[in-house]
Amino acid sequence: MLENKNELTPKDFKPKKEVKWCPGCGNHMILFAVQKALAEIGYEHETSVCISGIGCSSRFPYYMNTYGFHTIHGRAGVVASGVKIANPELSVWQFTGDGDALAIGGNHFIHEIRRNMDINIVLFNNQIYALTKGQYSPTSPKGKISVTSPFGTIERPFRIGGLVIGARGSFFARSIDNNIKLSTEVFKEAAEHDGASLVEVLQNCITFNDGAYNDLIDKEHKADRQLILHDGEPMIYGKDNDKGIILENGRLKVVKIGENGITKDDILIHNPNHGYAGLHLMLVNMGPPEYPVSFGVIRNVKMDTYANDLEAQIKDVQSKSKIKCMYDLLHSGKTWKI
């Protein structure tokens, strides 16, 4: 665990720049949660690097006073990979959206996860292209009416957690913009995880897709529709804390504690550290109407990271090779004198 050595506050990561997101945009809350997480961990400004692509969420680095790079559409993950490989000492953060990461950057996204690059990826999922003013995205639900799908999309959306697990990811967490406490918590865990940490933040776009998550957040149903997972705790949720998840015949099932002889002991205990991805995949894919949506750190597994393996390989080769400098290389193999 990193400790807060410097007693930083979120303000320490706030630059003097005007934030240009729409008033009421979910991004403001995510920004605050990231600043809070960095301050609580105690990161140095100079060793933190924020990389983004293109989209509303990708303006993020401008609102941090760390090193930052606002790159091009879809490519933040590879620019971030280059930074991390070049200097593994840096704490690299990538800010991206559903269009940036999953459409134009889809190829880079799966490979970044597959390589387990030690990058903290915050993916703002608002199910819409906002910066270009309201086209449907790879996470828009089927039937979504938008300016490029006036009769409803006929495309099926990605489920981000499924993609991450499919790409053999080591870390997946989900939060929602209005839950700053949960966001801060998962960002901290993401930062502490060695490897590619993907945090999907459900984010409300107030201008082009307002209310996309209303069913999840409305006060009356919120508790029945959100399952917040904690390591080592039973998967219990609901207004009266009486709903739970069990595994039955290889499938997840929602049960009510106290009904049909179900007790608290029957409820699944969450283990994000288990290498086996099957249960994690079921958890990330849960959704209405049958299931609640899962939140929190769903998967957090220890795996080799790219930059560490590369450093180790370089050290190993260097210890064995006779070639120590350019002179040695130039004079290696067959040479002759004239």
Partner 1 sequence: MRKKNYPIEKDDIVICFSGDSGDGMQLTGTLFSDTSVLDGNDIITFPDYPSEVRAPRGTVGGVSGFQVHIGDYKINTPGDYADIIVAMNPAALKVNTKLIKPDGIIIIDKDSFIEKNIKKAGYKKDIIKESGLENTKIIKVSATEMTKEALKNLGLDNKTVLMCRNMFALGMVCWLLNKSLDVSIDFINKKFLKKPLIAKANKIVLKAGYNYAETIEAVKPYHIKHAKLEKGTYRKIDGTIAASWGLIAASEKSGRELFLGSYPITPATGILQELAKRKDLGVKTFQAEDEIAAVCSVIGASFAGNLAVTSTSGPGLALKTEGTGLAVMAELPIVIINVQRGGPSTGLPTKTEQADLMQALYGRSGEAPLVVIAASTPSNCFNFAFEACKIALERMVPVILMLDGYLVHGSEPWKIPDMSDLPEIYPPIVKQGTENYMPYKRDKKTLVRGWAIPGTKGLEHIIGGLEKNEQGDVSYDPDNHQKMCELRAEKVKRVENYIPELKIEGDKSGDLLVVGWGGTYGHLYTSVRELREQGKSIGLAHFNYINPLPKNTEDVFSKFKKIIVCELNLGQFVDYLKSKFPKFDYRQYNKIQGLPFTVIELKNSFNKILEE
Residues engaged in binding partner 1 (CB under 8 A): 17, 44-47, 49-51, 54, 61-62, 65-72, 75, 78-87, 89-90, 107-108, 111, 310, 313-314, 317-318, 320-321, 323-327, 329-331, 333-338
Quick check: 53 and 18 in contact, CB under 8 A? no
Residue 32's H or E segment, with its range, is: helix 27-41
Least Å distance, CB 131 to partner 1, is: 12
Least Å distance, CB 305 to partner 1, is: 14
User: Looking at residue 146, what DSSP letter applies?
Assistant: B
Residue 124's H or E segment, with its range, is: strand 119-125
Q: Which is nearer to partner 1, 219 or 324 (CB)?
A: 324
Nearest-angstrom CA–CA distance, 140 and 157: 6
Least Å distance, CB 232 to partner 1, is: 37
Q: Which two tokens stand for residue 78?
A: 């590879």
Q: Which is nearer to partner 1, 85 or 262 (CB)?
A: 85
Q: Which is nearer to partner 1, 1 or 325 (CB)?
A: 325
Task: Name, in order, each residue with C-beta under 8 angstroms of 150's C-beta and a sequence gap of 6 or more.
Answer: none
* Nearest alpha-carbon partner for 164 in 211, 106, 210: 106
Residue 44's H or E segment, with its range, is: none
Q: Which is nearer to partner 1, 76 or 176 (CB)?
A: 76
Least Å distance, CB 187 to partner 1, is: 20
Q: Which is nearer to partner 1, 108 or 174 (CB)?
A: 108
Quick check: 36 and 44 in contact, CB under 8 A? no
Least Å distance, CB 113 to partner 1, is: 11
Report phi then psi at 270, rounded to 5.
-75, 130
Nearest-angstrom CA–CA distance, 174 and 120: 13
Least Å distance, CB 238 to partner 1, is: 43
* Nearest alpha-carbon partner for 197 in 11, 14, 34, 20: 34
Least Å distance, CB 68 to partner 1, is: 3
Q: Which is nearer to partner 1, 124 or 306 (CB)?
A: 306
For helices 106-114 and 76-86, the axis angle rounded to 10 degrees is 30
Q: Which is nearer to partner 1, 71 or 175 (CB)?
A: 71
Nearest-angstrom CA–CA distance, 59 and 213: 22
